[in-house]
Amino acid sequence: MTRIATPEAMFALGEQIGGQLRPGDLLLLNGPLGAGKTLLTQGIASALGIEGVTSPTFVISRIHKGAVNLIHVDAYRLVASANANLSLDDLDLDSEREEAITVIEWGGAESARLSDERLEIDIDRTNEEREITFVAYGPRWNGFTL
């Protein structure tokens, strides 16, 4: 578990993670509203040389162009929606995911089925400090450390 006390530290954690990513990687970020998921993603993007990342809450998915593209998804509206027509499958993530890094906020069980190889990052903001837990799935993430 990693403890994060400031927004700057959350951004820096994202940069550390981003420095280890490669095309095809899938990260699922989970935590309540205001936990720092988008800030973590901004740090990841910074490590990839990408700027201008904002929450895709209302558009659901954005592709940020870089040397390696970043697909940034906010699945909150998909998960919270009673509309069965809204799903991750409709986003067609598989068509570009292998050449990009994909970060899915609110990436629960629906998102986990996209790949057996993924890094799940849980952010607990119960206290002043955020508590970050990493759960790695698949051989790609064997030995993952910060």
Radius of gyration of the chain (CA): 14
Per-residue confidence (pLDDT) for residue 39, from 0 to 100 = 96
- Residues of the chain short of pLDDT 50, as ranges, are 83-85, 92
CB contact set of 82 (below 8 Å; sequence gap of 6+): none
**Per-residue pLDDT tens for 55-88?**
876 667 788 899 999 999 887 666 555 543 455 5
122: helix, coil or strand? Answer: strand
Per-residue confidence (pLDDT) for residue 22, from 0 to 100 = 95
The whole-angstrom separation of Cα 51 and Cα 8 is 16
| For the chain, domain boundaries | 9-127
Percent of residues in the chain assigned helix, strand, coil, to nearest 5: 30, 25, 45
Per-residue confidence (pLDDT) for residue 115, from 0 to 100 = 84
Neighbour tally for 85: CB within 10 Å: 6
Per-residue confidence (pLDDT) for residue 91, from 0 to 100 = 53
- Has domain 9-127 been given CATH number 2.40.50.140? no
